[in-house]
Amino acid sequence: MNSETTLLKGINKASKSVIYIGLLALLLGIIAIAYPSGIGRFTAVVIGIFLILGGIFRLSFAIVSFSMGSMILRYLYAVLMIIAGIWIIANPDTGLAVLTMVMAVYFMVDGITEIAYSFSLMPVGGGAYMLLSGMAGLILGGLIFLHWPESSNYALGIYLGIKLIIDGTMLSLTAYTIRKSAGKI
């Protein structure tokens, strides 16, 4: 088997996986838009649970510190994580408002990153899809900033859903375009 055949098989296998991941993101986006308030609160509670679990793990590993000062700081950080997790679970609406602002920042940073990366994909195909996805991320992040904190009840679910639909479509179309360019459809 020559290297070109091996490369084409690798592209075919990888692009098929990316198409499936894109379709899964698309489906999750539709679910998030259908239940925006529930998705937002659920996300806040899950993050609270992860903070508590992370804090517990940090507590157990703090003993492995190189100095007493480092150990104390690690214990304090672990306790802070646990307290923050409990607070988010106890106050999911306020946690959701903070999480919504974090998502706005994420959408904007992700948008800038996708726009920058899209130019490297232009020669092989699919760069235009990533450019559009990046622009959508910037717009969604900006919309959240403009309407925060009122948008906290719905923005996370709806905008996350929109972003997942756009990203899922972008991933599927980019993988399809690269497969097509490789001549393996």
pTM: 0.58
Q: Residue 1: what pLDDT?
A: 56
Q: Confidence class of residue 150 from pLDDT cuts 50, 70 and 90?
A: confident
* Digit-coded pLDDT (tens) for 10-50: 777 777 888 888 899 999 999 989 988 888 888 889 889 99
Indicate whether 111 pLDDT > 60.
yes
Q: What is the pLDDT of residues 60-91, one digit of tens each?
A: 887 777 778 878 888 898 899 999 999 989 99
Rounded to an integer, what distance in angstroms lies between the CA atom of residue 124 and that of residue 129? 12
The three state secondary structure string of 51-114 is: HHHHHHHHHHHHHHCCCHHHHHHHHHHHHHHHHHHHHHHHCHHHHHHHHHHHHHHHHHHHHHHH
